Every structure is written in C-alpha cells, then in structure tokens.
Chains A and B, each alone.
Chain A
Amino acid sequence: MRRLKILDYAISSLWRRRFKNLSIIAVFTIMIAVLASILILTHSLRMEAKEILRDAPDVVVQRLSGGRHDLIPVSMAEAIREIPGVGEVTPRYWGYYFDALTGGNYTLIGLEGGGSPSLSMLEGGLPSAVASCAIGSGVASARQLEIGDELVLIDSRNVGVTFDIVGIFVSESDILTNDLVILSNDDLIEFFGLPDGLATDISVQVYNENEVPKVAAKIKRSFPETRPITRDEILRTYDAVFSWRGGMLLTMFFGALLAFCILAWDKATGISAEEKREIGILKAIGWGTGDVLELKFWEGIVISVTSLLLGLILAFVHVFIFDASLFASVVKGWSVLFPDFRVTPHVDLYQIFVLASLTVVPYVASTIFPSWKAAIADPEEVMRS
C-alpha cells in the first residue's frame, strides 16, 4: 500500500511537468522503437537467411583472374567431378543486366533442363522453350509486365532481344526472386555472348556434408586460380551482414542511444534548485531518505518502462505488420528494385532483455543518483542551499 502511494505521488509529481516528461517519453519511445526494429528485423532476416539458404549449393567454384571474378572453363567441372565424394557438378550461367529503361539492375540466371517440375512460388512455369523467361515480381512491376507479355532486353551487341514471359514469381518470394530473370542456359549464353566452353561459375554437390571443407581445399589445391565458396561461408556471410554488430544503422542508433543517455544524465545530474527544495520539504515533513529515493525510482520506472513497452510494441507493429517500411528508404541505398521485408517473425528474447536493461537501468539510475546527495542530507541543509 505504501509502495502504491509513493508510486501515485511519483506520477502526480511527473504530471506536474507533463510537457517535459511526455516529450521525454516520446523521444525515448521512438529511440527504443528504432533500436528494437533494427534488432528484430536483422535477427529475423538472419534466421530466414539461415533457413532458406540451407539448400544453397554445397560449394560454388569461382575462377579469379587478376583478383577478379572471371569466367571459368567448363572443362574444370570434369576434373572436379573426379574428386572423391563429389556428386553433381554443374556449370552455372548467370550475370547482371542494367536496365536503362527503369534504372534497375536485374540478375539473369540461366537454367538447364527447362520447365518441369514447376515451383510452388512461381506463377506459370519456368522457361522451357527458346526465347522465354520467368521473372521476379520486382522486375514485373518495374516493367509493368504480366504472364504472356514480352520482356525486351538489350544484349551485348546492342540488339533488343524479346523473351516471352511464361512465369512470374509470387511476391512472397521477393526476398529471393525480386530481381531475377530466369532464361534457359542457351538463351543466356547467347544473350551475354559468353565464349564457348566458359561458364560464370561451377556449383559442386558434396555427398557428405562433413567433407565439404576437405573438398573445397582440394579444389583450391588442384586449381589455385579458383576460389571455392562453401555454403557454410554463405551462411556466415549473412550471419555477419545481419549481425547486431554489423551495419551502420545500428552504429548510428547506438550513437543516438548514447546521446540520449548523456541527455538523461545531464537532465538528471543538473537537479534543479526547485527539485532540491522539494526533496528538502519532503524530508522536513517526515519522508525518510529511503522514501525520497523510492519516489525517484518510481519516477524513473514510470518513464522508462512506459517508453520501453511502447517502443517494443511500435517495433513489432513496424517490422511485422508494416514490413519495416520506414527503414526501407534508409537501408535501400540506390537499389531501384527493393523487396519488402516480409520476413518471418523471429524474436530473440535475449536481445530484447539486453535492450530493456540498456534503456531502463541507465535511465532509472540517472534519475536516482543525482537526488542521492539531496536525499541523504539533513532537510534543513537541503532547503538552505
């Protein structure tokens, strides 16, 4: 009951400076919402990448020339196939296409074997005949295309090439397919004018997952000019890309958090003469040191817990209902085609607890500590100064 009464008084006390305190709650809430959005979004993206890239090629072998990624001789695939433990070895044909019309970059991927079986996230089918293609929904909306329309791309000889659109990937798969244009291998080789016997890179299947590093090392030894990229490395790349330590955004907002702490500290340490007098009055009329500190504790809790909860709710709604749309413009950079972050919600409670303790604890501390000196002094001394 006593605790409840002091809480009640703390709220009356905060309500007296409601403009200031509501502003603090607003700023605090936005800051927590932004930080939590980043944490939740990156965590969800990381989990999603981990799950869906689990079936990426075991090893992708690139050839390096002058330190750059270069086309790789298809004959190398034969040699790799000889390595024990290696299953299917497939030369991959793919490349980038800058679409001057929309200013977007497309990723063109050649596919062997054509149409069947079709994919569940593809409306229509995969290209089976010559001069047909399947496109991502980002490409479709940028060029305003539908199945049955024609996609005209300018090839390396500056000749317009027409592809019939036989399939469009559903927008739920945007995070993988947004900018894709799937052609048959022959069309792609023809379109890019790739020299005979050269592929973009080679994907290698390894039967036993544990042997992947060994196979990769063996490839590297046999073909020193190549760079084998294992699936594990792909996964770790995404782990790093979306790690909470990575990314300028977090650095930026960590800065904002620190700035807020400094603000809170400054606000609180510069305890005003008015507040000091109040503490003196409270002590004079029979409040003890503990009572005054408890009052300050509640004042800090009311502001920080309200902000924390509000911020977390906003973050959830922002990331999972509005697909983190506020971030898109920041994260997007110059990408013309940019998917919605329609991520599978994953929440790391540990991160949330860290966020909570990094925001509530410093705020409460910066509310209590400055009052400490006034609270432990004799009331007469506090009121006199």
Chain B
Amino acid sequence: MEGRDRRSGRGDAVINSPDPSLIFTEEATKVYNPRRPDEVCAVDKVTVAVGRGEVVALKGPSGSGKTTLLSLIGCMARPTSGRIVVDGRDVAKLSEEVLTKVRRRKFGFIFQQFNLISDLTVLDNVMLPLYPVDVGPAEMRRRADSILAELGLQDKRARRVRKLSGGEQQRVAVARALINEPEIIIADEPTAHLDQQLSDELMRILEDLNRDGKTVIISTHDALIYNHRIVDRVIAMRDGRVDAGDST
C-alpha cells in the first residue's frame, strides 16, 4: 500500500489507485458502543478488494461481521477506523450529503428481511429510491414497469407487499435495488427466507445482472450459494476478521 500516488481533493479524497478494484477496504474497523462495557468490535481491520464485474461471496457464521462489512462497503455506516474506498473515493471522509449520493447512485441493496414497506403497493416500493431524485414521475413509472416486467411482477404492481409470498417479496426487493441502475448490488443473506427453488431463481437473476456488468457482493452462510457457479471468489469471515485460510 505504501508509495501509493495520492491526490486529495476538497474533503473527499480521490485516489489514483493502480488497483483496478471498484471497492477496497483497508484495515476497516467498526466498533459498536465504543468505550462502553458492551463494546463490540464487529469488523476488525479487514482489508478486502472487489473488482469491477466480480461476484464475491462473504461467508461465515452469523455474528462473524458479514452484515457490518456489507454496511461499511455500502456506505450505510462509517468505519471507526481504516478506509473504505469506492470507485476511487474514500467514503469515510465524505460529507453526509455526498455519501447519500454515492449510496443512491452506486448501490442497490437486497436485505435479508427484504425491508420493504409492507403497507405500500409493489409499484410504490419499487419507485421509492427515485422519490428524492430529479426523475420525472413518468420516467419513474416507466423504469419501474420495465423492471417489474423483467422480474415477472407486472401483474402484481398494484398489490400491497404484505399480501405477497416470500419469493415475490424478494423479487420486489430486487426490483427496488435495481431501479436506480446501480453498479453494485449488495445482497445480505438474500436467500435466508427462501426455499431451494426460490433461491435458485434469485441466483439466476443475480447471474443475469452480473452478465450485464454489475458487481455483486453476497453475504451468506449457505454452501449452495457460495459454491454457486456465478461466484468468482469467496471471502470467509470469522469473528470480524477475514479468515485467510478459508478464502479463495
């Protein structure tokens, strides 16, 4: 890492990195409740890199820090120390406003709990990321319709999410993650609540997205997922650290 050519812009460090990685973390650490009796070091000096177009699986038992690492990479939380670089920018140093923009433009999230707003319709949920953006309502609608059609949800668009099956909800979550045309898809245990068939279906969707050039990062403890043919690389985690012996 030494000898890297650095150039700092106003507040947000732009790094001319020889590393072609889209994302890399350098000794990223996240401590919850610092200096308190219930202090927890969820992610401990993790250094990983993810290249453009790669499909990376984070594996490890629950509590190993997978979700926290995904949050750090996805700009949903700031590291206690260390650096997170996304597309050449050190996100730890970005202002709240810029961070929001990075999150909005670069990332699409698929959560373990789906995190949909269950009383809203499918369409409203899918369009949700576009409300605060300067995209006209007609364009919002067009994009949502085309994504829903791709995912086979066109007939359900006026249904309330609460009334959908688990698999359908997961597809709605995928549709919502895609609506802002992100470069990176972050999926946190996306198959935890799905049966085998639905898991396969989701993996097929992710495979298609990857073929379109999207970078995918999945956290999972399901062997069928991290051994899946689309996964380029597995990073194993244990107790907040990268378990070098088990990663490929």
Chain A directly contacts chain B within the complex, with at least one CB pair under 8 Å: yes
Determine whether the beta carbon of B115 is less than 8 Å from that of A6: no
Determine whether the beta carbon of B109 is less than 8 Å from that of A284: yes
Asked if B136 is an interface residue, CB under 8 A from chain A, the answer is yes
Q: Which of chain B's residues have a CB closer than 8 A to the CB of A378?
A: 76-78
Task: Evaluate whether A286 and B104 lie within 8 angstroms (CB atoms) in the complex, with A1-B134, A2-B133 already known.
Answer: yes
Asked if B53 is an interface residue, CB under 8 A from chain A, the answer is no
Cα A316 to Cα B177 in complex, Å, equals 50
The contact string, 1 if C-beta is below 8 Å from chain B, for chain A 272-284, is 0000011011111
- Give B176's nearest chain A residue, CB to CB: A285
Asked if B152 is an interface residue, CB under 8 A from chain A, the answer is no
Q: Which of chain A's residues have a CB closer than 8 A to the CB of B215?
A: none
Cα A281 to Cα B173 in complex, Å, equals 11
Cα A284 to Cα B117 in complex, Å, equals 13
Asked if A164 is an interface residue, CB under 8 A from chain B, the answer is no
Q: How many A-B residue pairs have CB under 8 A?
A: 82
Cα A376 to Cα B99 in complex, Å, equals 12
Q: Which of chain B's residues have a CB closer than 8 A to the CB of A285?
A: 103-104, 109, 128-129, 176-177, 180
Candidates B76, B134, B180; contact of A284 at CB < 8 Å = B76
Q: Which of chain A's residues have a CB closer than 8 A to the CB of B71?
A: 380
- A193 to chain B minimum Cβ distance, whole angstroms, is 79
Q: Which of chain B's residues have a CB closer than 8 A to the CB of A96?
A: none
Which secondary structure characterizes the binding site on chain A?
helix
Determine whether the beta carbon of B77 is less than 8 Å from that of A287: no
Determine whether the beta carbon of A12 is less than 8 Å from that of B103: no
- B233 to chain A minimum Cβ distance, whole angstroms, is 24
Asked if A184 is an interface residue, CB under 8 A from chain B, the answer is no
The contact string, 1 if C-beta is below 8 Å from chain B, for chain A 1-26, is 11001101100100010000000000
- A376 to chain B minimum Cβ distance, whole angstroms, is 8
Task: Evaluate whether A286 and B132 lie within 8 angstroms (CB atoms) in the complex, with A12-B124, A281-B115, A380-B71 already known.
Answer: yes
Residues of chain B from 15 to 53 with CB closer than 8 A to chain A in the complex: none
- A74 to chain B minimum Cβ distance, whole angstroms, is 82
Q: Which of chain B's residues have a CB closer than 8 A to the CB of A278?
A: 117
Determine whether the beta carbon of A12 is less than 8 Å from that of B120: yes
Q: Which of chain B's residues have a CB closer than 8 A to the CB of A5?
A: 130-132, 137, 140
Cα A284 to Cα B136 in complex, Å, equals 21
Asked if A289 is an interface residue, CB under 8 A from chain B, the answer is yes
Determine whether the beta carbon of A291 is less than 8 Å from that of B77: no
Determine whether the beta carbon of A286 is less than 8 Å from that of B76: no
Asked if B96 is an interface residue, CB under 8 A from chain A, the answer is yes
Determine the interface band of chain B, counting residues with CB < 8 A from chain A: 20 to 34
Asked if A300 is an interface residue, CB under 8 A from chain B, the answer is no
Q: Which of chain A's residues have a CB closer than 8 A to the CB of B243?
A: none
Determine whether the beta carbon of B134 is less than 8 Å from that of A286: no
Asked if B195 is an interface residue, CB under 8 A from chain A, the answer is no
- Give B180's nearest chain A residue, CB to CB: A286
Residues of chain A from 356 to 372 with CB closer than 8 A to chain B in the complex: none
Cα A12 to Cα B124 in complex, Å, equals 9
- B110 to chain A minimum Cβ distance, whole angstroms, is 11
Q: Which of chain A's residues have a CB closer than 8 A to the CB of B68?
A: 380
Task: Evaluate whether A287 and B100 lie within 8 angstroms (CB atoms) in the complex, with A5-B137, A380-B77 already known.
Answer: yes
Asked if A379 is an interface residue, CB under 8 A from chain B, the answer is yes
Asked if A268 is an interface residue, CB under 8 A from chain B, the answer is no
- Give A382's nearest chain B residue, CB to CB: B76
Asked if A310 is an interface residue, CB under 8 A from chain B, the answer is no
Cα A6 to Cα B140 in complex, Å, equals 13
Cα A285 to Cα B71 in complex, Å, equals 12
Residues of chain B from 44 to 72 with CB closer than 8 A to chain A in the complex: 68, 71
Task: Evaluate whether A9 and B131 lie within 8 angstroms (CB atoms) in the complex, with A286-B103, A288-B100, A289-B100 already known.
Answer: yes
Cα A277 to Cα B114 in complex, Å, equals 12
Q: Which of chain B's residues have a CB closer than 8 A to the CB of A2?
A: 131-134
Determine whether the beta carbon of A281 is less than 8 Å from that of B96: no
- Interface residues of chain B, those whose CB is within 8 Å of chain A, are 68, 71, 74, 76-78, 96-97, 100-101, 103-105, 109, 111, 115-117, 119-120, 124, 128-134, 136-137, 140, 176-177, 180
**22 pairs, A vs B, C-beta closer than 8 Å:** A1-B134, A2-B131, A6-B132, A12-B124, A281-B117, A284-B111, A285-B104, A286-B104, A286-B132, A286-B180, A288-B96, A288-B100, A288-B132, A289-B96, A291-B132, A294-B132, A379-B76, A379-B77, A380-B68, A380-B76, A381-B77, A383-B115
Query: When A and B form their complex, which 8 residue pairs have the shortest distance between CB atoms, in order from nearest?
Result: A286-B104, A291-B132, A288-B100, A380-B77, A380-B71, A380-B76, A16-B119, A285-B129
Extra A-B contacts (4), CB below 8 Å, given A5-B131, A284-B76, A284-B109: A16-B120, A286-B180, A378-B78, A379-B103
